[in-house]
Amino acid sequence: MKIRVGFGFDVHRLVEGRELWLGGIRLEHELGLLGHSDADVLIHAICDALLGAANMRDIGYHFPDTAGEFKNIDSKILLARTVDLIAEKGWRVGNIDATVCAERPKLKARIPEMQEVLAHVMGVEADDVSIKATTTEKLGFTGREEGISAYATVLIEKD
């Protein structure tokens, strides 16, 4: 079996008038993430990590923010398409280890739901999707609640 690892990162600004989507689920919050799609930073980081592991460039290359077809798109669709793209090269998802960095909202109670949703989209077990949440202790743009960032490391496999 051949394996590869990939790393992904994404960040979006928090603004009024947008829904907050993280890990494929909608969270109640007074601010949402600004972006061409639904701006789900966790899914975008995972997509970048998967594409990087398969040596297939990045999310912006495959799903450009200049394309109208991706305007306000549900990022779960982008994740499913990413899994299909790597499968075309013979790769499948092994596991995901991701971290969301946000002061608010607190995410701990919603992580199991995110794991289930993302696992379903990628066709893996929920146990193969690790999601952690942290803050920056009030430091930087995240600490000032100006945005949310996410990091993802993935392992992909090929027979």
The response to whether 29 counts as a known ligand-binding position is: no
Number of Cβ atoms within 10 Å of the Cβ of 131:
23
- Flag whether 120 is marked binding: no
Residue with tokens 């829904």: 19
Q: Does 52 count as an annotated binding residue?
A: no
**Of the candidates 24, 57, 55, the residue with the CA atom closest to the CA atom of residue 41:** 24
The CA R_g of the chain, rounded to the nearest whole Å, is: 15
Is 60 within any annotated ligand binding site? yes
- 37 has binding-site annotation: yes
135 is in an annotated binding site: yes
| CA neighbor of 32 nearest in space, from 45, 21, 43 | 21
153 is in an annotated binding site: no
Tell me: is residue 136 an annotated ligand-binding position: yes
Query: Per the annotation, does 40 bind a ligand?
Result: no
Q: Which residues are annotated as a binding site for a divalent metal cation?
A: 10, 12, 44
Q: Which residues are annotated as a binding site?
A: 10-12, 36-37, 44, 58-60, 134-137, 141, 144
